[in-house]
Amino acid sequence: MTRFLIRRILLGLITLWVIVTLVFVLYYVGPHDPARELAGRAATPAVLAQINREYGFNLPVIVQYWDFLKRLVPIPGHFNLGTSNNNRLPVTTIIGQALPIDVSLAVGAAVLWMIIGVSVGVLAARRPRSLWDRGATAFVLTGISMPTFILGLLLLYVFYYLLTIHGIAIFPKPGSWTPFTQNPLEWAHDLILPWITLALITAATYSRLTRSSLLEILGEDYIRTARAKGLSERRVVYRHALRSSLTPIVTQFGIDFATALGGVIITESIFGLPGLGLTVVQAIQVQNLPVVIGIVLVASFFVVAANIVVDALYAVLDPRVRIS
């Protein structure tokens, strides 16, 4: 197990190095002038020269690359993603302000989509070709086909606008955000509609994965043996079959959770949440290159880390998985 984790971590570090290199090449070595992009088309030669000196664009590419790598070493006091072009704030500060919103959004939505998706999938797998199964199929098709912005706007219209104009102000207005440490109840209240939006769209995928994986496991020989021994159907399904069928679900969860941590642009834009997704969109609009690079690297780290955790969980969930 230890050797397996070490190999996965080393592979993850190599993947991060490749991503960092590609980001550097894309933004600093591509067929464009990064100083011109930072300063704008109307910049004078004096301004361009100052930017080249400040950011080191006048240095050899290999020197720029080495400095870029050194700034990304995760050592306290040394880790540096640059400075925002707009307000001159450190990019780490901007990410630190936006990241709690994405963590809150991802955690709450993940709990909902796992409960809804797995429950619907198990119900459909236990009663194949029944009314419950057909209802689960309709749920999956609706969830996969429904665009996020349509569902989000629909929830806002029904549960915020219509209720509010009738004097029932239950749900918060878009842009409401309360940190968890300040007031946990207000934190959950402000995020309930974004959670539901993200969870309903995502839960459809988990329902389909759970149903197909559980149906396959329920046809295995050891499940038939467990039934022949007189075990209850509930124990067979939940204690033996469900655990083995969670492998593809955990894989999908790692990807979805890491993506949510890296910023869910549409959901954040609809509900006015200044998380990483909305921040990177605003940075792209004004060509704020350091902020874009910083958020891309942070999101990449979440995806790589999530895949390492998922690989480690395989052996825990399914003893048939061999780690050699």
pLDDT band at 320 (very low <50, low <70, confident <90, very high): low
Residues in the chain: 324
Whether pLDDT at 9 is above 60: yes
Cα–Cα distance measured from residue 63 to residue 80, given in angstroms and rounded to the nearest whole number: 17
pLDDT at res. 167:
82
The whole-number average pLDDT for the span 246-255 is 85
Structure tokens at 75: 């050592």
In the chain, CATH 1.10.3720.10 covers 91-317
pLDDT exceeds 90 at position 266? no
Q: How confident is the model at residue 78 (pLDDT cuts 50, 70, 90)?
A: low
What is the dotted CATH code of the domain comprising 91-317? 1.10.3720.10
pLDDT above 70 coverage of the chain, percent: 92
SS3 175: coil
The answer to whether 109 and 198 are in contact (CB under 8 A) is yes
Q: Render pLDDT for 273-310 as a digit per residue (tens, 0 to 9).
A: 888 988 888 888 887 888 888 898 998 898 888 888 88
Per-residue pLDDT band at 32 (split at 50, 70, 90): low
pLDDT averaged over every residue in the chain:
83
Which residues are 83's β-sheet partners? 90
Q: What is the pLDDT of residues 149-199, one digit of tens each?
A: 888 899 898 888 888 888 888 888 888 888 888 999 999 999 999 999 999
State the average pLDDT over residues 219-241: 81
Distance CA 295, CA 301 (A): 10
Max CA separation in the chain (angstroms): 84
What is d(CA 62, CA 30) in angstroms, rounded to the nearest whole number? 14
Instruction: Please check whether residue 125 is in contact with residue 214, taking contact to mean a CB–CB distance below 8 angstroms.
Output: yes
- pLDDT bin (cut points 50, 70, 90) of residue 42 is low
Distance CA 263, CA 101 (A): 9
- Taking alpha carbons only, the member of 36, 84, 22 closest to residue 282 is 84
User: What pLDDT does residue 284 have?
Assistant: 84
